[in-house]
Amino acid sequence: MPPDSILSWLPDLTDWQDYAKSAIAIMDDAERWRELVRLAGTRVDLVRTSRLDLMLRKAFPISPGETLAPTVKVAMLGTSTLAHLHAGIRVGLLRRGFFASTYEPDYGQVFQEISNPVSGFYKFAPDVAILSEDVRHATREVHGLTNQDDVQMLVAESIKRMEVVWNSIRDRAGCMVVQQTVMPVMPTLLGSNEHRLASSPSGFVRRLNDAIRGAADRAGVDVLAVDELAQRDGVNTWHDPSLWCSAKQEISPRVAPVYGDAVARIVAARKGRSSKCLVLDLDNTLWGGIIGDDGLDGIILGQGSARGEGFLQLQEYALAQARRGIILAVVSKNDESNALLPFESHPDMLLRKKDISCFIANWDDKATNIRRVAQKLNIGLDSIVFVDDNPFERELVRRELPMVSVPEVSNNPAEIPSLLAAAGYFEGVVVTAEDLTRTESYQANMERAAQHQTATDLGSYLYSLEMELCWGEFDTLNLARITQLINKTNQFNLTTRRYSEEEVRQVITSSVDIGLYFRLLDKFGDSGIIGILIGRGRGETLSIDTWLMSCRVLGREVESAMLKVLCEAASSAGYVRIEGLYIPTAKNSMVNNLYDRLGFVVIAEQPGGERSYRLDVGAFQPSGLPLNIRKAVHEPV
């Protein structure tokens, strides 16, 4: 990987040094933090990464404060030297708006630290533990193997040791565990048929990495796939044998920014910071030429043309992302009738209008139209990735909307899918049933909005939707979606507390806590699980620890129905009162007065805006809710 291709999707800032000097001179913390995040969002090699990391630690020696950025504590536990990777991780997380602190035990002390409950590792109290085993350590017992059964047995033993470590860390530290795959750096002995030699370290690594993925899936551990990253960029780019011999650095320092970004995108995915929406330009992005000038017969698209096939590859990638849950939108400077023509009538178009959840074609500037996309879809601007072939449009959007991700794309459309994949904007760690139907769900929301505009009053409109709120107690069947919502919902979220799957499981088994999920259906379709409530029991009081709801169902009185269900569940469990807490964040002002609106009484208020409330269980008696409520009976997800 040449130096200029490191993080090649990020825009290059030619006067980066000047910006860095200006950023460090800023006195206001909030402004200085924004400038550091902005610098992290530009193309940085190893040198710039190291300098930016120094600036970050000098500006904020402990933390910028939770109001500016959440802190993530990352522990690196490995059998090789890892110190050179810390800066890349901190800057990678800075790029996603997190302040990171990192920890690494002394060399060779990993297993002692894990087994000692009062070690520095546990005192550090990590949010994330990254486990890495170097290839020579992982293959140290391979050389004497003589048959494939022995290989399989050794793989199983290696996995068993990993599982013991995973469980030990989660039991004692309660943190997210990320297992790094083994680097495929051992030379082959047979060649293309290496897998036939039992004593081949290279063949063993391939089988061990496959087994790691399976075991990690079963255990709820995330995988950091450095084997795939090394194969993508070239093993010699990721591994320098001389550095291993001299410093026991298995991963080369030159890819530290890429490694750090790979770690950061997994953490961001777990914390709901991955992008949700791909906004596409049309002319010379999804097809070649200008539809308004060249006409349907004149645009370049489809088989028989190398460039035309390249545009098809981008459409194919976008369509595949839509099928796994990424929202597609179009923003184009065009007359709408012209912009729609290829979607409706070009025989080679893979993307059709039904695949696009929000379609905006007019002559307004694209930053304004991207704001409209965010508003129509009810998503944050920071969850949008904008792809446009035009450098002017890209720069305009970056300047007007710095929170929108705008990759530097090639003029060759065939190269864009691999660049978007390498950038990891849409990193995911779990796929739920709701993800697979997201496009239909957002399109149904657009239909609801259209019907709302024609309704004479809100009440008649809500009743016309024929809504049904289906609720259930937390269960393992819906565990992944419940955890996903807890970690990604920012706006309608009273406390913004994040929980791992393991912590959600503890609610399921608790004898005093109540965990409820809510699914909303109407005549346009099933919106899936859209709301979560967690109540913590203490004496006669049930305290609402977590209350969140998808913004897709705002304005339908769902929150009143959710509270009604919670009151009934609390009453059945013997609680006489419910307490609520509002913790303000930069994104949850929409629920600032939710408890007031629902009849709670303020019992305490902190200077920062945090407020505590109380409500007698029997006091909430809403009437005229425009939806039916029923309990779920293990519906398929």
DSSP string computed for 306-336: HHHHHHHHHHHHHHHHHHTTPEEEEEEES-H
CB atoms within 10 A of CB 345: 9
Strand, helix or coil at 17?
Answer: helix
Per CATH, 69-271 and 456-631 having the same topology is answered no
456-631 fold: Aminopeptidase (3.40.630)
As to burial, measured by CB atoms within 10 angstroms (0-12 exposed, 13-18 middle, 19+ buried), residue 259 is buried
Does the pLDDT value for residue 572 go beyond 50?
yes
Split at pLDDT 50, 70, 90, the class of 613 is very high
CB atoms within 10 A of CB 137: 13
Task: Say how far apart CA 393 and CA 110 lie, in whole Å.
Answer: 49
At 292, the amino acid letter reads: G
- Smallest CA-to-CA distance from 370 within 403, 324, 340, 337 is with 403
Task: Say how far apart CA 19 and CA 17 lie, in whole Å.
Answer: 5
Please answer whether residues 421 and 475 qualify as being in contact, where contact means their C-beta atoms are separated by less than 8 angstroms: no
CB atoms within 10 A of CB 252: 19
Name the residue with tokens 């910006």. 19
Give the per-residue pLDDT at 217. Answer: 94
Name the residue with tokens 């009062």. 118
Please answer whether residues 278 and 385 qualify as being in contact, where contact means their C-beta atoms are separated by less than 8 angstroms: yes
Task: Say how far apart CA 37 and CA 56 lie, in whole Å.
Answer: 10
The CA-based angle 221-227-233, given to 5 degrees, is 135
Please answer whether residues 137 and 89 qualify as being in contact, where contact means their C-beta atoms are separated by less than 8 angstroms: no
Q: Report pLDDT digits (tens) over 482-494.
A: 998 998 888 899 9
- Smallest CA-to-CA distance from 423 within 402, 405, 438 is with 405
- Edge-to-edge order in the sheet of strand 358-362: 358-362, 327-333, 277-280, 384-387
Does the pLDDT value for residue 597 go beyond 70?
yes
Please answer whether residues 190 and 197 qualify as being in contact, where contact means their C-beta atoms are separated by less than 8 angstroms: yes
Task: Say how far apart CA 117 and CA 221 lie, in whole Å.
Answer: 21
Does the pLDDT value for residue 14 go beyond 60?
yes
Q: What ranges do the domains of the chain cover? A: 69-271, 277-423, 456-631
Structure token pair of residue 190: 């047979």
As to burial, measured by CB atoms within 10 angstroms (0-12 exposed, 13-18 middle, 19+ buried), residue 245 is exposed
Torsion, Cα of 235, 239, 245, 249 (10° steps): -150
At 295, the amino acid letter reads: G
Task: Say how far apart CA 90 and CA 73 lie, in whole Å.
Answer: 10
Please answer whether residues 283 and 289 qualify as being in contact, where contact means their C-beta atoms are separated by less than 8 angstroms: yes
Name the residue with tokens 């769902």. 558
Which one of 3.30.530.50, 3.40.50.300, 3.40.50.620, 3.40.50.1000 gives the CATH number of domain 277-423? 3.40.50.1000
Split at pLDDT 50, 70, 90, the class of 551 is confident
Q: How many CA atoms lie within 13 A of 325 on its CB side?
A: 17
Tell me, rounded to whole angstroms, the distance of Cα 387 from its chain centroid.
19
Task: Say how far apart CA 543 and CA 509 lie, in whole Å.
Answer: 17
The mean-pLDDT minimum among 79-88, 518-527, 602-611 falls in 518-527
Specify the CATH architecture of the domain 69-271.
3-Layer(aba) Sandwich (3.40)
Q: Where do the H-state alpha helices sit in 361-478?
A: 366-377, 391-400, 416-423, 433-436, 438-454, 458-464
Give the per-residue pLDDT at 637. Answer: 43
Instruction: Please indicate whether residue 360 or residue 621 has the higher confidence score (pLDDT).
Output: 360
* Structure letter (DSSP) for residue 252: -
Task: Say how far apart CA 240 and CA 249 lie, in whole Å.
Answer: 8
Q: Report pLDDT digits (tens) over 343-390.
A: 999 999 999 999 999 999 999 999 999 999 999 888 889 999 999 999
Name the residue with tokens 């495929």. 184
Give the per-residue pLDDT at 636. Answer: 46
Task: Say how far apart CA 594 and CA 389 lie, in whole Å.
Answer: 44
Please answer whether residues 313 and 413 qualify as being in contact, where contact means their C-beta atoms are separated by less than 8 angstroms: yes
At 240, the amino acid letter reads: D
- Smallest CA-to-CA distance from 316 within 350, 359, 357 is with 350
Does the pLDDT value for residue 108 go beyond 50?
yes
Q: Terminal CA-to-CA distance of the chain, rounded, Å?
A: 43
Please answer whether residues 483 and 504 qualify as being in contact, where contact means their C-beta atoms are separated by less than 8 angstroms: yes
Q: Report pLDDT digits (tens) over 306-341.
A: 999 999 999 999 999 999 999 999 999 999 999 999
Q: How many CA atoms lie within 13 A of 66 on its CB side?
A: 7
Does the pLDDT value for residue 177 go beyond 60?
yes
Question: How far from 120 is each of 62, 104, 106, 162, 240, CA to CA, in Å?
Answer: 18, 9, 10, 20, 31
For the chain, what is the mean pLDDT?
92
Please answer whether residues 204 and 140 qualify as being in contact, where contact means their C-beta atoms are separated by less than 8 angstroms: no
What are the strands, taking DSSP E only, across 233-392? 277-280, 327-333, 358-362, 384-387
Give the per-residue pLDDT at 448. Answer: 75
Question: How far from 543 is each of 250, 390, 495, 535, 600, CA to CA, in Å?
Answer: 49, 52, 12, 5, 13
